[in-house]
């Protein structure tokens, strides 16, 4: 680690944007602490690019306060991103949306870093291109490694492996959405806009003008926090080509509508699932079942878990 000094460092937006922005009160408190006690914690960097400590760096440069720099070694940008995500996940006060995004982003970054072959070495400007990806004959090993990565991240975050892979889809959708409309990302990650996983994926597939239209509909609600059903309705209206007016159907032509019908039907079937699971637990010796049966059951249970998670997200009221 270097001696404390004042020197310029580079800021990479793709690194900085992974770090939860401080609220104004938090930023002012950090600034006051640095003014009173100096910069105690080093700025973490990779080849002169800030990895962690963007706020400390900005405050120190503005007030000309010396700071130390701790240079870390990474093989490529993907490794840096994975480290930032894991580091942020260890901190408090991050929203559930941010947590999902960071877990998915970490998994994607670690997959990418593991897929790189680079015998000549990388520098800080290295990117991953098709020439670096492993050969087809090594894909079985890559798949095994990817599975192990998902298992490790799942264990670290007390979730299932399938959930890690689901969050990776969420992270990819958020990145695609951010390329079309960067302004909506912090609103989602902060929890201001509650948008369920499948609706984030649907939103990411819309065009930039359509995404802006969704935002305008949400803003018209004039509420500080938008709930899942509100964002879902706004996305559905735009994706289905609605322009603010809905076709009016005569009441006498409409069938009787029961808004609880599907939910009540589902609720009636769930006890039978629970009963079947209890029966298997009581009557089956799981230690002697075949690997084929075991893997099939695990796959279906994880799929069921994902569907349950989606439904809970959709009906959750915060």
Q: Note whether 224 and 256 are within 8 A (CB).
A: no
State the angle between helix axes of 96-114 and 77-89 in degrees (0 to 180), rounded to the nearest 10.
Answer: 150
Reported confidence tier of residue 286, pLDDT bands at 50, 70, 90: confident
Give the SS3 label for residue 45.
Answer: strand
Higher per-residue pLDDT: 294 or 184? 184
Reported confidence tier of residue 173, pLDDT bands at 50, 70, 90: very high
pLDDT in tens, 61-115: 999 999 999 999 999 999 999 999 999 999 878 999 999 999 999 999 999 888 7
Q: Is the four-CA dihedral 134, 166, 162, 269 of positive or negative sign? A: negative
Q: Note whether 157 and 297 are within 8 A (CB).
A: no
- CB hemisphere CA count around 105 (13 angstroms): 28
Q: Which of 160, 92, 22, 97 is nearest to 318 (CA)?
A: 97
pLDDT in tens, 14-54: 999 999 888 899 999 999 999 999 999 999 999 999 999 99
* Percent residues over pLDDT 70 in the chain: 81
Task: Please count the other Cβ atoms lying within 10 Å of the Cβ belonging to residue 153.
Answer: 25
Q: What is the reported pLDDT for 248?
A: 44
pLDDT in tens, 206-246: 999 999 999 888 888 867 677 788 888 888 888 876 444 44
Most confident listed range (78-87, 122-131, 181-190, 306-315) = 78-87
pLDDT in tens, 78-88: 999 999 999 99
- In angstroms, the CA 198 to CA 57 distance is 38
- In angstroms, the CA 217 to CA 227 distance is 13
pTM: 0.67
């Amino acid at each position: 680690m270097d001696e404390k000094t004042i020197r310029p460092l580079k800021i990479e937006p793709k690194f900085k944007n992974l770090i939860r922005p401080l609220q104004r009160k938090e930023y002012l408190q950090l600034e006051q602490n640095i003014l009173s006690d100096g910069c105690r914690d080093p700025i973490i960097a990779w080849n002169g690019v800030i990895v962690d400590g963007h706020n400390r760096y900005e405050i120190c440069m503005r007030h000309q306060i010396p700071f130390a720099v701790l240079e870390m070694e990474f093989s490529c940008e993907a490794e840096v991103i994975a480290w930032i995500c894991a580091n942020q996940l260890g901190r408090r006060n991050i929203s559930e949306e941010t947590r999902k995004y960071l877990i998915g982003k970490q998994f994607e970054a670690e997959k990418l870093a593991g897929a790189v072959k680079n015998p000549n070495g990388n520098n800080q400007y290295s990117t991953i291109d098709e020439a670096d990806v492993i050969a087809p004959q090594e894909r079985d090993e890559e798949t095994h490694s990817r599975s192990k990565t998902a298992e490790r991240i799942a264990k670290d975050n007390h979730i299932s492996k399938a959930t890690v892979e689901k969050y990776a889809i969420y992270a990819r959708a958020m990145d695609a959405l951010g390329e079309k409309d960067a302004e909506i990302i912090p609103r989602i990650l902060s929890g201001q806009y509650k948008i369920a996983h499948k609706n984030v994926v649907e939103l990411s597939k819309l065009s930039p003008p359509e995404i802006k239209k969704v935002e305008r509909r949400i803003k018209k609600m004039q509420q500080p926090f938008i709930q899942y059903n509100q964002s879902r309705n706004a996305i559905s209206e735009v994706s289905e080509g609605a322009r603010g007016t809905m076709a009016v159907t005569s009441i006498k032509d409409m069938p009787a509508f029961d808004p609880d019908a599907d939910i009540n039907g589902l609720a009636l079937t769930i006890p039978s699932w629970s009963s079947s699971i209890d029966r298997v637990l009581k009557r089956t010796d799981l230690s002697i079942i075949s690997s084929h049966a075991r893997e099939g059951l695990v796959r279906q249970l994880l799929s069921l878990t994902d569907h349950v998670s989606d439904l809970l997200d959709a009906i959750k009221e915060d």
